[in-house]
Each structure stands twice: as C-alpha cells, then as structure tokens.
Structure 1
Amino acid sequence: MSSSSSVTVHILDKEYSIMCPQEERTNLVSAARYLDTKMREIRSSGKVIGADRIAVMAALNITHDLLHKQEAPQAQTSSATREQVRDLLDRVDLVLATDPNERKS
C-alpha cells in the first residue's frame, strides 16, 4: 500500500500543497510545471486577464491538445490500414491480370 505525502507546487506565482502518493510525486510536479508554463504563456499574451480565466483557458487548451492526440493515432492507424488494403488489392489485380498459364508454374 502506498503512502501519501504533501507535495508543494508553484503555479502562476501561487503555492499549492497537494496530497499525493509517493510514486506519483514526479508526475504531479511535471504536470504542475506544464500547467504553470501554459498559464504563463496565456498571461503573457495579454489577451486574458485574471487567474481564473487564465486557468480555464489553459485547461481548455490542454484538453484540446489531449483530445487531438488521442484522435491522431486512430487516424494514422486507419490510414495505414487503407494503405495495406490498397497494396493487397494491387497484388490481387496483378495476379488476376497475368496469363493463367503463367500462374500454373
């Protein structure tokens, strides 16, 4: 059974103490750094004012990226499958187009 301990992270100039299992500590710190970076990028753009709004925009951007990355492998797999099917159809067409007497050898 894993024990939890408090981890302190800094996000947009604020300090947060979060309870976290020891084995997840590194992931939590990385996630907090990533969120902090995204929020700073949004704040520095000057288009969004207020920590709450910046946090919501960062959450939307991160969620959009995550969903896009989840869809991408499916599209790549689908494309690769289509390519394999086309290749097989080309091979079948080639075999069917050859003289039947040549295929018997």
Structure 2
Amino acid sequence: MSAEFKGLDVTIMGREFRVACPENEQHSLLASVDYLDKKMREIRDTGKVIGIERIAIMAALNITNDLLSSRVPSDFDVGDFKRRIDALQAQIDQAMSEQDELF
C-alpha cells in the first residue's frame, strides 16, 4: 500500500510554495519548513547576504554542515556498540533477578 501524496501550501520567507507530500509526513514537512524559514530569516537579518537565492544557498550549507557534523564518525564500530549494549543488558537482567530473590 503506497502513501497518498497531497499538495501542501507552505510559506518560506514570505513566498508561497505548493509541495507534494505523503499525508502521513505533513507534520514533519511543516516542521522542516519552519526550521528552514527560521534559518533563512536569521541569515537575512545579519545583513551580510543579499538575495533570496543566496540566502537559500547559505541556509542549505549551514543546515548540511550541522547534519554532517552530528553524524556518527566513520570509525564508529556499530557491532562493538551492540555487544556492549547486550553485555549491559545482561548485567541489568542479572541484577534485577537477584533483587527479585530478596523479596
């Protein structure tokens, strides 16, 4: 079953756009629109960047940099992380079972 796309009107920096979006993702899209609008207005308000296209590019670069900076480093070992979580879960289970024996 595929998601039904609907047109959604959004406003960014005073300009209206119609965006196709699955109905179940509209809330997420609106949050993204609010975030982008805020970032673009912050850039515009500095007065250093003029023109909607330049502001949009600067916002895209800033948001992309934030995203890439927040990613997990490439040397992160997911397998080791999962093993550690499993070991911690086993310790918790053991401690909980010992607590049950006290009562």
TM-score above 0.5, yes or no: yes
- Paired with 1:30 and 1:16, the residues of 2 have a C-alpha distance of 15
Number of residues of Structure 1 aligned to a counterpart in Structure 2 = 79
Mapped partners of 1:2, 1:64: distance in 2: 31
Structure 2 residue 57 is matched with structure 1 residue 56:
yes
Structure 1 equivalent of residue 12 of structure 2:
11
Structure 1: gaps (5+ residues): 82-105
- SS of structure 1 residue aligned to 2:71: helix
**Which runs of no fewer than 5 residues in structure 2 stay unpaired?**
82-103
- Report the counterpart of residue 30 of structure 2 in structure 1: 29
Partner Cα distance (2:70, 2:31) in 1 = 19
Rounded to whole Å, the distance in 2 between the matches of 1:65 and 1:17 is: 26
Question: Matched residues, percent identical?
Answer: 45
More helix by share: 1
CA RMSD of aligned residues (A): 2.3
Point out the structure with max Rg over C-alpha. 1
